[in-house]
A = this chain, B = another copy of it.
Amino acid sequence: MSAVRIARLSEEPLDLDAHLRAVEDDASGAVTTFVGRVRNTDPDAADAVIALEYSAHPDAPAVLERIAAAAAEGTDAIVAVSHRVGRLDVGEAAVVIAVASGHRAEAFEVCRRVIETIKTDLPVWKRQVEADGTTQWKGLGG
């Protein structure tokens, strides 16, 4: 029987340990996590990303809950997932997922399904802030 323990949009920094604690269960032999972060490939380039600003549609929390439930449906996986909103600097986590399950294949597959569906379906947009002051809106799937 699957379960969703956390499915939340958050203005505060995301806490991986809190997500791990939320999926804690003695029957779980496998725990996977995914953290998606603001990355900086070339700090010296004019178009280097120095921050991302995330904003979410009011429906986003309900959509995130449905994404997590659908990813775990038909499995024994326990899921905790949060997506950050607001301004994030390089290195900060935009999304954190923890999945516990009896066996590793399921733990990996459910974790992957959650992030892939977030990328396609969660109504969250990001504005990229570059080193030269330029900003660019990015849609879903970024």
Contact = CB atoms under 8 A, between A and B. Distances in A.
Contacts of A34: 30-32, 104, 107-108
A87 B113 CA distance: 34
Nearest to A116: B104
Label chain A's interface by main secondary structure.
mixed
A112 B35 CA distance: 15
Contacts of A90: 26
A102 B32 contact: no
Contacts of A55: none
Interface in A20-43: 20, 26-41, 43
A141 interface: no
A36 B112 contact: no
A13 interface: no
Given A17-B17, A30-B34, A32-B35, 5 more contacts: A16-B20, A26-B43, A32-B32, A39-B102, A108-B112
28 contacts: A16-B20, A17-B17, A26-B39, A26-B40, A26-B43, A26-B90, A27-B40, A28-B37, A28-B39, A29-B37, A29-B38, A29-B39, A30-B34, A30-B35, A30-B36, A31-B37, A32-B32, A32-B33, A32-B34, A32-B35, A34-B104, A34-B108, A36-B104, A39-B102, A41-B102, A104-B115, A108-B108, A108-B112
